[in-house]
Amino acid sequence: MTIALFGNALKVNIKQEIDHILEFMQLRGVNVILSQELRQEFSLRDYIQFGEETDEPIDFALSIGGDGTFLTTAALVGRQNIPILGINFGHLGFLAEVETKNLDCILDQLIRGQYTIEQRSLLAVRSGAGGNLSMPFALNEVAVMKYGLSSMIALEARVNGELLQRYEADGLVIATPTGSTAYNMSIGGPLMVPQARGIILSPIASHSLNVRPIVIPDDWKIDLSVQSRNGSYIVSIDGRSQILNDSVQLHVEKADYTVKVVQVGENSFIETLKTKLSWGN
């Protein structure tokens, strides 16, 4: 078995956790490949760097950090069809569910094959003339927002060619079911179970109180055009932000591949919601 290990090297005490995982895997004969960040930050030159040629196929990716680290891991893994297990070294952690206190037990179950894999949908973003999106896939959300201290933007959203809404707001979040518990949740958007088949559109600080979030089928296609007083806007794809001229239109639809998320243990999404959001307490 071969795993690829990713992590946020800036997390306090994460080196100790990385060393523990490396020792754990070595004792069980599991090969480990390290992300460029971990290999360089902690001078672990004896390990192959992710992306370099190797004779061994990668069975799993371990993401050590918070949900942001998981999103980075998913972006780096891309279409390589490698299942990802998220280990929470952050705070809330809806993607990185496994707590470090249970790590040895969870890793043992992973090695023994006691796990399931969930398929999570992504959004693909394509820009019109004048735009150049470097990493155009989102597991959580695509956020289109005003740039700087300018006033709100006017954002026209069409679905399958039909005008849905002209938003006058600070922006618009387009979220997957996985991303419903991220930025979307913080602005009052609806929560969705990850297995649902839908796309959420939630306005950010809408000027009109009768404009509400909406869920559309995930096979619908979304076209966006923006008007801004300063001629620019921000598009943020899973937190990776770029500034675009407001002449650049965006097209958003479900991607043609999925991210495979490893589930170990008995925690359901509902149980995670109850724990993370203190429901019933």
| CA of residue 5 relative to chain centroid, distance | 17
For the range 98-106, what are the long-range contacts, defined as Cβ-Cβ under 8 Å and sequence gap of 24 or more? 98/264, 98/265, 100/17, 102/265, 103/17, 103/20, 103/21, 104/24, 106/264, 106/265
Residue with tokens 């290999």: 39
Nearest to 188 by CA among 175, 177, 204: 204
Burial 191-215 (b: 16+ CB within 10 A, else e): ebebebebbbbbbbebeeeebebbb
Left, alpha or beta for 102 (phi > 0: left; psi -120 to 50: alpha)?
alpha
Q: Is the separation of the CB atoms in 181 and 94 below 8 Å?
A: yes
Q: Which residues are catalytic?
A: 67
Nearest to 172 by CA among 240, 222, 122: 222
Residue 135 buriedness (CB in 10 A; 0-12 / 13-18 / 19+): middle
Amino acid identity at 238? D
Amino acid identity at 92? L
Nearest to 59 by CA among 87, 90, 81: 81
